[in-house]
Amino acid sequence: MVALSRHGYRVQPFKAGPDYIDPSYHTAVCGVPSRNLDTWLLKPSVVRELFQRAMRGKDLAIVEGVMGLYDGFRGEDDEGSTAQLSKLLRLPVVLVVDASAAARSVGATVLGFKNFDPQLNVVGVVLNGIAGEAHLRLIQPALAQVGVPLLGYLPRSPDLILPERHLGLIPTLEGTVAKEFYERLLDQVERTVDLERIASLAAPISVTSEPPCVFPESPQPTRAVIAIAMDKAFNFYYPDSLDLLQAWGAEIVPFSPLEDQKIPEGVGGVYIGGGFPELYAEGLSTNAPMLQSLMQAAEQGLPIYAECGGLMYLSQGIEDQQERTYAMAGIVPAWSSMKGKSLTVGYRTVCAVQDSPLMKAGDQVRGHEFHLSALTSRPHPAAAVYRILDQDDRMEGYRVHNVVASYIHLHMGSRRDLAPRFVDFCARQRPRGQHEVRSG
C-alpha cells in the first residue's frame, strides 16, 4: 500500500473481516481511512455499497484478507471468507504464501488454493520468509509448473517484523512503530516486488445502480451531537459506522477518557468503543472527574453505548493479569478481569432482550467478540442486553438507565436501522449545554 501510494496511485485500503488493528496500519500509510468489508456481518448489497462509496476518487483498491483465503464462519462453505469477498466484488487474488519452511511444496500449496474453487481468480503469488536467492530458485520451477506467476517476495528478516501482543498487532495510535520501519518496508518491496505488474492485474471496478442500503438517499440535517471516546485506550471503531452516524444526522465530537476531565458539554449521547483499557487502567482509574462525569450522565439518562473495552471501562473496575485492581466508572454492576482468562473470539448472532437506544426487543443482529477479559458475573435476564442465539441463548451485556454495554462489537451497517435509531434517540435525549447542534 505504501509503495503503490508513493508511485502515484490513490490507494483505498480495505480489510476483510472483523479487525480494528490491521486497518490502523493501512490508514497510517495511505492517509485515508481503511474500510472493513465483512460478508458475514453485512449483506452482499451493503458490502458493495461500502466498497463503491469508498472508491470514489480512488485509483486502486487493496483488500487485505483475513486468516486463510477460504477461512470464514464455518467449515462447510466460504461464508465470511476472503474468497467469498473476492467473488462478490470480482477482485483478483494475490496469494501471500509463507515459504519460510518449504521449497517445491510451495507449488503444491498454490495449486491447491488455485483449484479448490475454480470461480476464484488467483492471478499471482507473493512469497514471504525467503532465506535467499538459492531458496527462491528452488521454488520458482514449481510455481512455473502450476502456472501461477511469481509477483515478488519478502526476505526472512527481523527488521520487517511488527510488534504484537495478546490481540495481535499493536495499534498505530500508540506510536510503537517508528517511521523508519515503513521506510525499510518500502525499500524492500520496491526491490523485490513487481508493483507495476500487480497494479496492472487489478480488475475494473463493477459499479452498480442499486439504491443505498444503509446510507440515507438524501442528506439529513444534523440533529444530535455524539461524543466518541478516542485515545490510546479506546480506538476500535469501524469508520463506516462513524460515517453512518454522521450521515443520519450526528455530529461526532471526539474526547479522551484518559486526558479530558469530563465528557463534552451538551452532547446527546456517548459511544465508547473497544481498545486496551487494561493497559491504561491506572490512568483511567485516577481520572476521577471523567468517571464522575460519566456516572452523572448515565444517571441523568444520557444514552451511552459501550463495546468490549468500553464495557470494561463502565464496569466496577478492572483486574489485570497481575491481580492489580483499578476502580472504573461503576455503572455496570460487575468487575472485568484479565486474570487467567483465555481469548474469546468469534461471530455472534444476538437478539435484543429489551428496548434500548440501539434496537427494539426481539430485533436480531450479527456481531462479533474478541477479548481476553471476562466479567466476574453474568447479567440477570432482566438486566441483559442480548441473548446470544448461537450459544444456547447465553445472556450478554448490561442495560442500565440508557446505557448499553456489551462485549459484542457491532457494525452499524449490519442493520439499516441501527445508526438512525441511535441518532434519533440521542436527539430526543440531548440535555441542555454549551455545544450547539448545527443544521446541515
Answer for the pair 419, 248: CB distance below 8 angstroms, yes or no: yes
Q: What pLDDT sits at residue 381?
A: 86
For the chain, which ranges sit under pLDDT 50? 432-440
Q: What pLDDT sits at residue 339?
A: 84
Residue-range domains of the chain with CATH: 2-200 (3.40.50.300), 224-429 (3.40.50.880)
Catalytic residue among 213, 308, 351, 426: 308
Q: What pLDDT sits at residue 423?
A: 98
Q: pLDDT tens across 1-27, in order?
A: 999 999 999 999 999 999 999 999 999
Tell me whether strands 164-165 and 168-169 are parallel, antiparallel or unpaired.
Answer: antiparallel
Q: What pLDDT sits at residue 435?
A: 45
Q: What pLDDT sits at residue 109?
A: 97
Q: What pLDDT sits at residue 432?
A: 41
| 426 catalytic per annotation | no
Biggest CA-to-CA distance, the chain: 71
Q: pLDDT tens across 251-297, in order?
A: 999 999 999 999 999 999 999 999 999 999 999 999 999 999 999 99
Q: What pLDDT sits at residue 438?
A: 43
Assigned C-alpha cell, 262: 469530563
Q: pLDDT tens across 100-137, in order?
A: 999 999 999 999 999 999 999 999 999 999 999 999 99
- Taking the model in full, what pTM does it have? 0.93
Assigned C-alpha cell, 54: 469508498
Q: What pLDDT sits at residue 167?
A: 64
Closest alpha carbon to 99 in 85, 111, 112, 109? 109
- From edge to edge, which strands make up the β-sheet containing 224-229? 250-255, 224-229, 269-272, 304-307, 403-406, 398-400
